[in-house]
Each structure stands twice: as structure tokens, then as C-alpha cells.
Structure 1
Amino acid sequence: MSRRVRLASVNVNGIRAAVRKGMLEWLDAADVDILTLQEVRATRDELLAALPGWQIENDEAVAKGRAGVAVAARVGALDTRRGLGDDEGPDATGRWIEADYDIDGQAITVVSAYVPTGEADTPRQEAKWVFLDAMERRLGELSGAPFAVITGDLNVGHRELDIRNWRGNVKKSGFLPRERAYFDRWLGEADAEITGVDGSVGRGLGWVDIGRAAAGEVDGPYSWWTMRGRAFDNDTGWRIDYQLATPPLAAIASDYHVVRAPSWDTRWSDHAPVVADYHFGR
């Protein structure tokens, strides 16, 4: 008999604000087993108070009120690792946490990641390159694990399908060819020579984009909309929130969906949760 594990990931844009706006009501109804959070912007004590009853592992940003990632689960983690090492670059605290769980004797590594936003041709973009390089090294190491999943706000739209207004963003951080080439390698055939959209050549790592695999070759489904104008109402969004799984984990995934709020005024974050079920013991 298989066991379903429902995994949800969301950039909460401040956990305390999200709770005030109705996040817990959604969470109570969503039947989530493991919840990954980005842009928590809270201390550990504040996070525990916001999510009573959950077992929480978190990594706070050094700068107060910035970034912050966490993994919350109904059971405690076997082990936790924070950060990507000394070479992950400046402004990297509160952006990467790994938690290992036992699912009926199967070990699964769950990552909550918050990639820096960046800004083209500025030091902020240089910091993003450093972080993405460190992330690529870690994905290479984790790719050998049977069950591992990278979740979070990765702040890159991989393909033209992932941004409604992609033509207007080709020179902006979040859709730069060099950024997208990282995803070409991460999602490319394992150990194959992959030519990225920017012309670079590298080794494929074999990860599976659960969202794209589920949706197929369609626009979106988007997971983030700017608060400005009528972007949400017009569905002028970006798909920048991901669940990237190792092939064995992707093989037992189902029911991926983006939890888009019914209206602009019912949103509790500018991001929507991305949710998938994983069926262990099939």
C-alpha cells in the first residue's frame, strides 16, 4: 500500500503578514504533510508562533526582516543542513536549507531555496551568479540521491512558456539567457553535453521539473504576479516557483497544481503555493 506525501512550497512574502491575511485557513484545508517556505522574514520564535503544531527547521537571514527559508513538517527531520558553503556569495544567508525525512523507511531530502532576485549589470546580479554557481554544484551532489526535491522561489523563468511578457524581459534579471542556461543544464539529460540557451556548454544533471512535466507545453501555470496594476487579474505572471525532483522521485509524483487565489483581494502573498503529491511504496 502506498503512502501519499503532499509537499507544498510557497514564498510567503513575510510569514506574519501571510498568517494575518489567511494563510492558516488555506493550510488547514490543504492537507499538506511537508511545507517549504521562502522569504519568511521572521525569527525562529516568530515562525514557531505563526505555525503552531508544526516541526520546523529554518535558516534566518543575517539582515533582520530579509529573506529566510524554512521546512515545516508533521514529523521531525532526521538531519538538517543550512547554506551552500563558503562559496555561495554575499547576501546568501537565509536562502538554502535541506531537511531529511524518513517516509516508511525511505529517506527523502527536501530543500527550500530562495535564489537572489538580482538586477542585470549590477553587483546584485554578480551575487546571483555566485549563488547559482554554488547551487549548481550542490545539485550535482544531490542528483545521486534516490529521493531529493529542490523547492522554492528560484527567481528564474526557464522558458518562454514561463513568463507571459517574455519579450519585454529578455534583458532583465529573471529571464537572462545565462540564468536560463543553468536550468537547461539542471534539467538536461544526466551526464549528457547540454548547450544552453546562451550558447554555453555543460553537463546535464538529470533533474525533473515537476510543474512543467505535469502542465505540458502550455503557458504557465504562473506562480507569481506583481502587486502593481492588474497583473493578477490579467494573469500576466511568471512561473518562478518550482519543485525539481530526482528521476526516481519524479516517477512517483502526481497531482501537481498551483493554488491560485480566486481573486486579487483574497491573496495572502504575491506568490501562489505549488503543490504535488508523492506516492511512496508503489
Structure 2
Amino acid sequence: MLRIATANINGIRAAQRRGFEDWLAVRGCDVVALQEVRAQADKIPAGAFGDYHVALDTGTLPGRNGVAVLTRRPPAAIRTWSGTALAGTPSAMSAGGAAVSGMPAAASSPAAAALIAVPAPDRVPLARGLGRFAAEGRYLEVDLADAPLTIACLYLPKGGLPADLQRPERMREAPDGGARYARKMGFMAAFSRYLVRTRRAAAATGREYLLMGDLNIAHTRQDLAAWRRNQHSDGFLPEEREWFGQQLSPRTLMDVVRHLHPEQDGPYSWWSWLGQSFAKDAGWRLDYHLATPRLARSAHRAEVDRDHHGIRLSDHSPVVVDYDWP
């Protein structure tokens, strides 16, 4: 069995203060995909990733984005859009704080000292339109060493509203004429082409493919509690939902949690910090496992860890799936 989780932690430092390190130690996951790490290597707290091997792309925007995949064994391969990644075992430190395994020790934190830059060239050409996002720390892919499986971690841009739907009195952000909306739609169009290529590349090497992450879209009415009043909200726009559906089919990728819970509303994975959204379970399902059919059909249990000992790790909650997979 493989237990695999995805979590948007909305900042590794904040998540660790809320108990992420303990959740990681007790949850028993074999693989964990993280989005919004939001820290450069020298700002990552010691022990934040426990005893896991880490593949990390922080991106170049301080305090923003950043994706990581944690595995029990070092991955067989790491790929990023930027062509480099950080890799290592941040907890593998000697008592004096020096790095082990030949890793450099002259870093400003123990976690940074145990991470080294490694080449991580992508195996397929980037689709036209993705180059502008390559340095943002939005996508990372690893091949597991102990299972025929490629794990991909994605943080899809949040986006915004098209210009014709922007009403200043109803917006928390200043109107931008649809710029954020256009950026997200451009990303999605390019990523759909890339997704086909990388999924096929995994198949060509005999590997199943699992895409996880915060996709910033609630696909169906079951994926959003207050869907009626959010039909003109970013993240639930008809064109976003249509794009999502186009990525799925019984022959390409399946929504694993929805496959296991076809009739259930939710289970939601994001709730606003404001008001009573969390207490009333008025959430959005934004965090997904999208798997090739053989892998998807091996899933037998899916849970959302709403909190850990009564404390929310982030505004998102981890989505944990157990797969009957060798």
C-alpha cells in the first residue's frame, strides 16, 4: 500500500508552528506533495520535513509559491521547469549542525545546510506559454525509486475575474482589468498541452502518473458548498470548470477522491479564515489527486485531515489517499 497526501501549507514556517511537523511524523504517508512552501532554503525551519527526502523548487519570488515532494527514499529522478531543484534530508544533521553526506555546511539554517542544488531537467519540452512561469516554483515532478510511479506537484495560479465581471464594491483586491484572469487562463491552456506530454512520457517508461496539488478550481457543484452564489466567482467560472473537465477521462486521468465518493458533497479542502466557514463546513474542494486509470482504481480510502489535534495547519487541509500499489 502507498499512502499519498497533498497539502497547500500556505507557508512552511506558519504550518510548522501549527503542528505540521507532528502531523507529518504521525500520519504515516509514503509521499507528500506540498504547495506554497513560501520560503527560500535559508528560511526553512530545521526539522520541518522530518525524516523525509525532499525535492524542492522554491522559485525566485521571496515568500511566494514553492512546491516540494517528500518521499521515504531518495527519488530516482527529479524534474522542474526551471531545470534545477534543491534536494536532501534536512533532518539528517550531526549534533554540531554540520551537514552530512558531503552536503555543504555553510548555510544560514540547518535545513538549508542539508539541501543541495541538483540538476532537474524536464524530460519533455515546456509547452508554449509556460516559460514565463518556469522560475515561479509552481511545478515539480519526481519518479519514485521503489514504485513504477511518477508524482507531479502543481500550484496553479489563483487568477481573478474577467474585466466584465469586476465590481469594485464586491472585490477585496483592486480591479485589474482582467489581468489575473488572463494570466490564469493562459497558464491553463499551456499546461493542458504539457500535461498530455508528461503523462505520455511517464507511460513510455512504464510508470503510472499522479498529479496532485492546489488547482484553484472547484470542478463541480459538489466541490463548492455555496455554489449558487459563487457562479461568477474566480475558481468556479464556467470556463475554468470546463477546462478542468477536459483534463479528465476514464482513459487519461481520473479524479481519485470523486471516484471514491461519487455522490458526496466535498469533501472540501479549503475554508476561509473569515467567519464561520470552517465550523459550518462551507468550503471549496481545490486540492486534488488526478491519477492515471490503473492507479486511480487502486485507491481504496480518501480523507481530508481537517485539523490536527484541533488546530488547522493552513487554510487548506491535507488530502490523503491510500492506494493498493506495490
* Coarse TM-score class (shorter-chain normalised): 0.7 to 0.9
- Separation of aligned partners in 2, 1:246 and 1:47: 33
SS of structure 2 residue aligned to 1:256: strand
Aligned-residue offset at 1:94 = 0.9
- Separation of aligned partners in 1, 2:291 and 2:138: 19
- Following superposition of structure 1 onto structure 2, how do residues 1-282 of structure 1 map, counting pairs within 5 Å? 4-47=1-44, 49=46, 50-83=48-81, 84=126, 87-88=129-130, 90-91=132-133, 93-103=136-146, 106-121=147-162, 122-144=178-200, 145=203, 146-190=207-251, 206-261=252-307, 266-281=311-326
**Does 19-28 or 8-17 show the bigger shift?**
19-28
Aligned-residue offset at 1:260 = 1.2
- Separation of aligned partners in 2, 1:44 and 1:247: 36
Q: Which has the higher strand share?
A: 1
| Structure 1 gaps, min length 5 | 191-205
| Counterpart AA for 1:235 | D
- Separation of aligned partners in 2, 1:262 and 1:24: 11
| Structure 2 gaps, min length 5 | 82-125, 163-177
Summarize deviations over 1:181-232 as a string: whole Å, max 9, x none: 1121111344xxxxxxxxxxxxxxx311011011122211100000011100
Aligned-residue offset at 1:41 = 0.2
| Counterpart AA for 2:322 | D
- Separation of aligned partners in 2, 1:109 and 1:262: 28
| Counterpart AA for 1:54 | Y
- Separation of aligned partners in 1, 2:277 and 2:72: 35
| Counterpart AA for 1:63 | L
Aligned-residue offset at 1:90 = 4.1
SS of structure 2 residue aligned to 1:57: strand
TM-score (norm 2): 0.75
Aligned-residue offset at 1:44 = 2.8
* Structure number with bigger Rg: 2
Aligned-residue offset at 1:70 = 0.6
Q: 1:142 to 1:85 in 2, by over 3 A?
A: closer
TM-score (norm 1): 0.87
- Separation of aligned partners in 2, 1:88 and 1:228: 34
Q: How large is the RMSD of aligned CA atoms in angstroms?
A: 1.8
Summarize deviations over 1:3-32 as a string: whole Å, max 9, x none: x11111000010111011111111111101
- Separation of aligned partners in 2, 1:259 and 1:67: 22
Q: State the match for 1:199 in structure 2.
A: none
SS of structure 1 residue aligned to 2:145: strand
| Counterpart AA for 2:237 | L
SS of structure 2 residue aligned to 1:216: coil
Aligned-residue offset at 1:251 = 2.1
| Counterpart AA for 2:257 | G
| Counterpart AA for 2:2 | V
SS of structure 2 residue aligned to 1:51: coil
- Separation of aligned partners in 2, 1:107 and 1:64: 34
Q: State the match for 2:96 in structure 1.
A: none
Q: 1:33 to 1:132 in 2, by over 3 A?
A: same
Q: State the match for 2:121 in structure 1.
A: none
